[in-house]
Amino acid sequence: MGSRFEQLADAVLAGVPAGPGDALAVLGADDAEVLSLVAAAGRLRRAHFGNTVKVNYLVNLKSGLCPENCNYCSQALGSAAPILKYSWLSKEETLKQACAGIAGGAARVCLVSSGRGPSNRDIDRVTEMVGALKAEHPEVEVCACLGLLSDGQAERLAEAGVDAYNHNINTAESHHHTIVQTHTYADRVDTVEKAKTGGLSPCSGLIAGLGETDEQLVEALFALKELDADSIPVNFLMPFDGTPLADTWELSPLRCLKILAMARFVCPDKEIRIAGGREMHLRSLQPLALHVANSLFLGDYLTSEGQAAQADLDMIRDNGFVVLGSEEDRARTEPIDPAIRRRGAGTGLVPNA
Ligand code: SF4
């Protein structure tokens, strides 16, 4: 008989959905069980996504200067994080940035702007950008992430060729009021519903490490399942200096793996994306996480730098995965020569220790 997680994977593959108790058991797994957990969740990943990794690329159209007070966000009202602040990129600059991501292998470009929500003029601006991008790269998916939507805006984005809309619920309804006061959980859910009814693929995820309990993480995940989000970005809090959560460090690499595995068990056929905080929190376990998640962001995030894009592509290749939609093998091809040791024993130089 396999491990308890192998048995859970068997059940999920047989069509029995994982319940909240199963999700809590995954979060509470002993560290010694993590490899069997990853192996079991990896079976679900491969059943639905094979060995593909969807590569997404973020373009921050408008950075900082947001009137909302999400306390995890470096762009929020009151944040003193020393981030780049700028108003809307031009269409030309947007295209240039998006094309860099596409050249790196991105199948989806995510056009993101800070702010409570777009004005109709902002929607005009974004639809123009998307028209230009789709004219050059019709094969690339475009996801917009512009904040809370008003009636009719999702339909306008869909008509312009936008494929998906991202609006994260971020955390459980029961925890939401502790992380933001300028809008409600219901506002966020309403925008995801507007995106769906407007013909856009819903992308909605969460942020782990915001002071939530295990039960609240499970609550958030089942809310996303209920919302039927097609893609679920799992973020790990990046505690920026200058924000209220600056000193909040609740995550470990193994904890992050368990959170991703829980998402895979509960939503086995959905795109589970390792999102912000990947490098900072998963650290040397990033490659293992790819055996559970099937999607990541290439390169940099909205206001912070990610690891080198080539390191992301190497990690995908080294783990036996391929970039979804990319015919070209973009991984490293040049050999890596052994570096001859010229320090430590036998030399007068300090050792590498
Ligand atoms: S609405 Fe978006 S950009 Fe503004 S503070 Fe919240 S998360 Fe940050």
**Model confidence pLDDT, tens digit, residues 287-337:** 999 999 999 999 999 999 999 999 999 999 999 999 998 766 555 667 788
Q: Is 73 annotated as a binding residue?
A: yes
Q: How, if at all, do strands 108-113 and 141-145 pair?
A: parallel
Nearest atom of ligand 1 to the alpha carbon of 67: 4
pLDDT digits (tens, 9 = 90+) for 199-244: 999 999 999 999 999 999 999 999 999 999 999 999 999 999 999 9
Closest by CA to 234, choosing from 276, 183, 281, is 276
- Statement: residue 277 has pLDDT above 60: yes
Kindly report the CATH number that applies to the domain delimited by 4-323: 3.20.20.70
Query: Following DSSP, what letter does each residue of 164-183 receive, concatenated?
Result: EEE---BS-HHHHHHH-SSS
Cβ neighbours of residue 14 under 8 Å, at least 6 residues apart?
none
pTM of the full structure: 0.95
Tell me how far the alpha carbon of residue 325 lies from the centroid of ligand 1, in angstroms: 31
Tell me how far the alpha carbon of residue 114 lies from the centroid of ligand 1, in angstroms: 6
pLDDT of residue 329: 58
Q: Residue 90 class from Cβ within 10 Å (0-12 exposed, 13-18 middle, 19+ buried)?
A: exposed
Helix (H, G, I), strand (E, B) or coil at 239: coil
Nearest atom of ligand 1 to the alpha carbon of 76: 5
Alpha carbon distances (Å) from 64 to 80, 97, 304:
10, 18, 12
**How many whole angstroms from its chain centre is CA 279?**
12
Closest by CA to 98, choosing from 167, 169, 194, 162, is 162
Q: Report the C-alpha dihedral over residues 142, 144, 150, 155, rounded to 10 degrees.
A: 0
Q: Is 145 annotated as a binding residue?
A: no
Best of 58, 75, 83, 171 for a ligand 1 pocket test (most atoms within 8 Å of beta carbon): 75
- Please count the other Cβ atoms lying within 10 Å of the Cβ belonging to residue 146: 27
- What's the mean pLDDT in 156-176? 98
Q: Is 46 annotated as a binding residue?
A: no
Ligand 1 contacts (CB < 6 A) are 66, 68, 70, 73, 75-76, 114, 147
- Statement: residue 266 has pLDDT above 70: yes
pLDDT of residue 302: 94
pLDDT of residue 76: 94
pLDDT of residue 335: 78
